[in-house]
Structure 1
Amino acid sequence: MEKGTLYRFFAGSASDAEKEAIKMWLEEDAAHRQELLKERAFYDAVMLADEKQALAVRRPVHHFRSLAVQTMKWAAVILVAFVSSYMFLDQKYSSLEVATNTITVPPGQRVNLSLSDGTKVCLNAGSTFTYPALFAEDTRKVELDGEAFFEVSANKKRPFIVHTGICDVEVLGTKFNVDAYGNDDTFSAALMEGLIKVKNNADPANVVHLSPNHKVTLSGGKLAVSDIRDYDIYRWKEGLICFKDLNFIDLLRRIEKYYGVELVIENHSLSKHAFSGTFRISDGIENLLRVLQKDVNYQYTRSEDGNVIYIK
């Protein structure tokens, strides 16, 4: 089978004739299935590499205080292909089982990828995302531990479901942000376009339908809806940490997840200070801490393994 045909199939742009040809090809020899899975893994890797290169050449932005910004640097993304779980492709190809892929985003980085149905996903630092190489017949389901921005390809017959450890988000076609880091035990979803349904996994009867410019947060075990008052916090997908009148302690808690370090605050007087600003994630956590030192008197040290920073 020509690779171009397979790649169009993975991208969701193959014609009906090409899909039928792929089905017949798969039925000819069991080895063809392994070849398809191998090409799917290669396709995903190429897509990730292209996104990383494109992000590396974006124009720089400036810190508050007119601080100069260094060139963005990216390390390799961890892609674990072919987890041992399988799912069916769709009604025409129920005989084809396709492995799932899992992506883990390293601290201080983000990843953009396109799914086989055309859905676009931007993953934040420290996120783990599991998705099928090809979607099942009646639903499109992915799993997220972390934060992601989705632009879901519309398909009324096949809802798109984002499963997290706390809540599930179901959509038909829309743009929304999900923040569900498992180690924080918190959940929020913000809707920019379309409609989404959010279900509390601990209380399935607790369901909300969200309209644009609103967000839902799990508070006290219940889903609470409110207006989106600050869209800048969702600019993380541009590689930015944005904060407005944010308490120093809350700011440090937020950036912990971006850099995969623990911040131990020993100077509790810092809770009286609040900040507003924009910071490029790729400039690193120590650069941010040095900038904040210009307005707040504190010192910081790192543990020997570098995983803990003490704020004194």
Structure 2
Amino acid sequence: MSDHTFGEDSIINLLVFKYHYLVLFATIVFAIIYLVNNLIEKGHFQYQIKSWVKSIVLGILLLHSASSFVYAVYFGHFWFAFPVVSVVLNDIGAYFFGVFFGKTPLIKLSPKKTVEGFIGGVFSSFMICFIMSSYMSGIKHLVCPQQELTFEIFQKMNCQIDPLYIHQDTSFDLGPFGKFSMNIAPIQLHSLSISLFTSLIAPFGGFMASGFKRAYKIKDFADKIPGHGGITDRFDCKIVVGWFLGFYLQYVVYKDQANIEKAYSNYQIMEDQDKIQITQLLQSMILNSNQTNTF
């Protein structure tokens, strides 16, 4: 793969990554203009509007999930790979527990899904993901943040490892059960939150997809993958995970970093006079803090 084709400034790279949101916005605007321009057949307006609304809603849901995964990759490939693997592990666990212990139907939309399989998938995913996240956090290619996203698969990664991925002694207070400590990385605690979501909530993305299939009396969304349907058939659960991932990274994992970035972005668009006032105020605060510490 040559740099000339997929380099940082290539058209494909710019459209897919750097101007991702702009492309999505332009696509939706184009869809609106195209619809209005084609509302010409009397008696079919209602059908056209309904079809357009369904397409736009589904498009927004899919594109928002895709945007969240693109956003996540900037913090490291870990945040793309781990949620996907977590969904796969939950599917495998639910399948085997369902085959060997499944008796109680879980939901009418998917008759083969059982309560036993669902619970088994939760526990197996919970335990395996906790252990697996520890091993994944030791791979630099996964944990190094990305300054620019490209199509280069095997990039040389050399970064200072975020404390998020470094093992440390962590104490837990269980109240009447006492205290205990473990040598774990903070990312392992986040992995529990992600695996819990992918086990309890993400499967309903698959159930929702089953509802669409039943509504339109189809077996699969497409036939691109022989025996497995279309791309959406393989990623219906991961669509829901994408919605959660964007929120979780922004408001839980990197909450403080996001606040600093927003403050710096606001500073960048200020007038020169306002920048000077902010700088003087910060200098005054730092000076007062140093004097207080001295005394």
What is the TM-score normalised by the length of structure 1?
0.24
Quick check: which one's helix share is greater? 2
Greater per-residue strand proportion: 1
**More relative contact order in 1 or in 2 (CA 8 Å, sep 6+)?**
2
Give the TM-score, by structure 2 length: 0.25
Larger radius of gyration: 2
